[in-house]
Amino acid sequence: MKKFAAKAASALCAFGLGMALTASVQAATSNEAMIERIKPIGSVCVQGDENCGGAAAAAATSTSGARSGEEIYTGKCAACHTSGVLGAPKFGTNEMQLRLDEKGMEMLLSHAINGFNAMPPRGTCADCSDDEIQGAIDHMLAN
Ligand code: HEC
């Protein structure tokens, strides 16, 4: 009887150890699975963020659709065109209209896209489409 008890105890012991091992192995794998599950899928790219790649910025704009001329003007052009920095045609005056009369829209647009003297290409808005630049010019002309 004593012998049986000892055997049973050791059997139980081995069983228990086995369970414990299995449990810890399972814990380890499910930890990894959990880390895999909770790790970020992607990172948020805020437009204009220097850390964002150009491709990400372009993708962001292409999915959000064209922005209005007013939005582009306010965000990208106003810095210079509100006060006429470096001789920029001033917003709210006829200065842009005079240039339009003199040069025509095609030249204004091409200067806005490619740069012209102190006017930087696309007004530094690298992710602005040609249409968005045109919209911003129209917005300046309409005001
Ligand atoms: C860093 C300042 C700056 C920013 C930002 C800027 N501009 Fe200009 N822009 C200028 C200056 C300076 C001129 C005048 C250049 C000249 O006549 O020598 C100018 C001229 C222009 C002209 C007239 C070009 C011509 O042929 O006479 C257009 C059109 C124009 N800007 C559009 C824009 C648009 C659209 C934006 C925004 C997307 C913008 N600009 C942002 C400085 C700026």
Tens digit of each residue's pLDDT (9 = 90 or more) over 90-122: 999 999 999 999 999 999 999 999 999 999 999
- pLDDT at position 56 is 47
Q: Is residue 60 part of a domain?
A: no
Cβ–Cβ < 8 Å for 97, 137: no
Same domain, 101 and 137: yes
Which of 34-48, 81-95, 117-131 is predicted with the least confidence, judged by mean pLDDT?
34-48
Q: Whose CA is nearest to atom 42 of ligand 1?
A: 119
Residues 6+ apart with CB under 8 A from 106: none
The span from the CA of 78 to the CA of 76, in Å, is 6
Distance 35 CA to ligand 1 centre (A): 50
Q: Is the pLDDT of residue 35 over 60?
A: yes
Number of domains forming the structure of the chain: 2
Q: Which domain holds residue 132?
A: 67-142
CA dist 32 and 139 (Å) reads: 55
Expressed in angstroms and rounded, the spacing between residue 43 Cα and the centre of ligand 1 is 34
Classify residue 50: in a domain, yes or no: no
- In-domain check, residue 54: no
Give the Cβ contact number of residue 77 at 10 Å.
Answer: 25
The answer to whether the predicted template modeling score (pTM) of the entire model surpasses 0.75 is no
Which residue's CA is the nearest one to ligand 1's atom 2?
Answer: 80
